[in-house]
């Protein structure tokens, strides 16, 4: 069984406002993927009004909903939440505790992912991807990173080996967004040690560890698996630092009237600005590290800030619901998007899609996001919650080492001004 102190520690690790931030990040990722519906209208001539709308509304919206920035924010949030939980039940001192931490993460991440895969791939292969698109030659001539998932390359020819590899998170062939789950799983091997090193908020330790992690990202080919994770480890460590230095940062901003709101805006601009100005192929590492720094500031203000406006935004029922469903929503949105887009390409002529592409975009956003949240609610109720509870039960079994009494008696960063 899980001891009472461990339960209290996990309760303290839950920050509803941070969970809501994760919901907004998942929404940003979803919107950034909906552009697949616009691929037929890429070279259309536009009128002055439509051109202005694209330049003054759609372009800033796309800039603000940068998918990679949202993913980096996910990693910072994971670092914070998991390090808070590890403060109550440290996992780096005993093999059993380390294994228990891993068991809980496996039951947190895998069941919803495997359920989505097992339900979607065979159903898509047997139904919607048997319907031909209206103009396959025109679709084949287009260039889009997401095209293989709607033109029949992936789901029209299912592979058991490919499904097993995706299920094991060896690759992300059948659900592109699951590359982030691979990073999460690999990062969990390091998080117990990150939590221990950053626990007391000593600048010299944290600076040294971050320098080492950045050096590893530079030295390794971080754009090729299995070395993808070093590129993102600084973001996880930055999340661990939110519980110490982040408190100081939020408190410092809070001393000035409106300081936390202005700080939030500045961190958000730092999060998405360089990515909008620079090419990821030319400055990928610099952009990711910039996002990790900005994510640290953003999450710190949300977690420990006292701004009434931010509190109202993050703690209202809609934001809380989005945050609660964010993981399953994140898993299902691309799958829902691929089905909707395939049906769109199979029932509406490309010329019509090109001419009315703004209406197509808004329709795609509305249908796929609302549909994905409906599926996510079912996944959360029947898959996520039961398996998370089961993972905690298994992790609390007697085969795993209990938290050392000398550690439980300590308090994490009790006086941070």
Summarised one tens digit per residue, pLDDT across range 89-116 is 888 888 889 999 999 999 999 999 999 9
The residue that leads in pLDDT, 408 or 369, is: 369
Summarised one tens digit per residue, pLDDT across range 153-178 is 999 988 999 999 999 999 899 999 99
Cα-trace Rg, the chain:
22
CA dihedral in degrees (365, 366, 371, 374; nearest 10)? Answer: 120
362-385 burial, b at 16+ Cβ within 10 Å, e below that, comes to eebbeebbebbbebbeebbeebbe
Q: What is the pLDDT averaged over residues 63-75?
A: 93
Q: Chain-centre distance of CA 302, in angstroms?
A: 16
Q: Are 119 and 331 in contact (CB under 8 A)?
A: no
Task: Give the Å distances, CA to CA, from 352 to 38, 220, 347, 368.
Answer: 11, 47, 10, 20
Among 13, 202, 198, CA closest to 101: 13
Summarised one tens digit per residue, pLDDT across range 328-351 is 999 999 999 999 999 999 999 888
The residue that leads in pLDDT, 7 or 331, is: 331
Q: Is the dihedral of CA 34, 38, 42, 46 positive or negative?
A: negative
> What are φ and ψ of residue 72, in 5° steps?
-60, -35
Question: How high is the pLDDT of residue 214?
Answer: 92
Of the chain, the percentage scoring pLDDT greater than 90 comes to 65
Among 162, 155, 105, 146, CA closest to 126: 155
Task: Give the Å distances, CA to CA, from 157 to 151, 172, 238, 300, 342.
Answer: 11, 16, 41, 45, 15
H-run or E-run covering 12:
helix 4-13
Q: Which residue has the tokens 């040294």?
A: 208
Q: Would you say residue 308 has pLDDT above 60?
A: yes
Q: Are 145 and 35 in contact (CB under 8 A)?
A: no
Question: How high is the pLDDT of residue 95?
Answer: 87
Q: What is the pLDDT averaged over residues 197-215?
A: 95
Summarised one tens digit per residue, pLDDT across range 238-282 is 999 999 999 999 999 999 988 999 999 999 999 998 887 776 665
Question: 309 falls in which pLDDT band (50, 70, 90)?
Answer: very high
Q: What proportions of the chain, in percent to the nearest 5, are helix, strand and coil?
A: 75, 0, 25
- Please report, for the chain, the start and end positions of each structural domain, with discontinuous segments joined by +: 4-38+50-198+306-398
pTM above 0.75, yes or no: yes
Q: Would you say residue 12 has pLDDT above 60?
A: no
Question: How high is the pLDDT of residue 266?
Answer: 96
Q: Which residues fall within 8 angstroms of residue 95, CB to CB, at 6 or more apart?
A: 401
Find the range with the poorest average confidence among 103-112, 140-149, 231-240, 304-313. 140-149
Question: 411 falls in which pLDDT band (50, 70, 90)?
Answer: very low
Question: How high is the pLDDT of residue 402?
Answer: 55
């Amino acid at each position: 069984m899980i001891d009472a102190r461990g339960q209290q520690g996990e309760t303290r690790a839950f920050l509803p406002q941070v969970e809501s931030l994760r919901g907004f990040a998942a929404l940003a990722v979803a919107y950034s993927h909906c552009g697949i519906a616009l691929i037929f209208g890429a070279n259309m001539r536009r009128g002055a009004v439509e051109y202005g709308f694209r330049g003054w509304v759609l372009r800033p919206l796309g800039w603000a909903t940068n998918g990679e920035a949202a993913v980096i924010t996910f990693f910072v949030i994971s670092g914070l939440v998991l390090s808070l939980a590890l403060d109550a039940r440290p996992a780096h001192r005993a093999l059993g505790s380390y294994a228990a931490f891993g068991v809980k993460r496996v039951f947190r991440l895998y069941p919803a992912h495997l359920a989505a895969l097992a339900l979607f791939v065979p159903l898509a292969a047997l139904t919607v991807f048997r319907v031909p698109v209206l103009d396959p030659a025109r679709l084949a001539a287009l260039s889009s990173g997401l095209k293989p998932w709607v033109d029949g390359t992936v789901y029209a020819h299912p592979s058991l080996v490919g499904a097993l590899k995706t299920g094991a998170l060896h690759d992300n062939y059948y659900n592109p967004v699951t590359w982030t789950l691979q990073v999460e799983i690999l990062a969990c091997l390091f998080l117990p040690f990150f939590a221990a090193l950053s626990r007391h908020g000593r600048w010299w330790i944290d600076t040294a560890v971050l320098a080492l992690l950045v050096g590893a990202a530079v030295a390794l080919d971080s754009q090729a698996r299995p070395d993808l994770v070093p590129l993102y480890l600084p973001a996880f460590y930055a999340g661990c630092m939110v519980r110490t230095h982040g408190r100081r940062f939020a408190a410092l901003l809070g001393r000035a009237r409106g300081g936390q709101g202005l700080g939030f805006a500045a961190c958000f601009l730092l999060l998405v600005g360089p990515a909008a100005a620079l090419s990821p192929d030319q400055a990928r590492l610099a952009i990711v590290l910039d996002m990790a720094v900005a994510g640290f500031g953003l999450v710190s203000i949300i977690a420990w800030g006292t701004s009434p406006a931010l509190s109202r935004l993050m703690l209202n029922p809609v934001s809380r619901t989005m945050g609660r469903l964010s993981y399953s929503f994140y898993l299902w949105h691309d799958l829902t998007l691929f089905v909707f887009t395939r049906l769109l390409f199979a029932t509406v002529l490309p010329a019509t899609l090109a001419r009315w592409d703004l209406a197509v975009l808004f329709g795609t956003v509305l249908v796929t996001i609302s549909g994905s949240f409906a599926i996510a609610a079912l996944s959360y109720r029947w898959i996520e919650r039961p398996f998370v509870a089961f993972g905690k039960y298994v992790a609390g079994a007697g085969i795993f080492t209990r938290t050392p009494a000398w550690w439980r008696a300590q308090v994490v960063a009790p006086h941070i001004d």
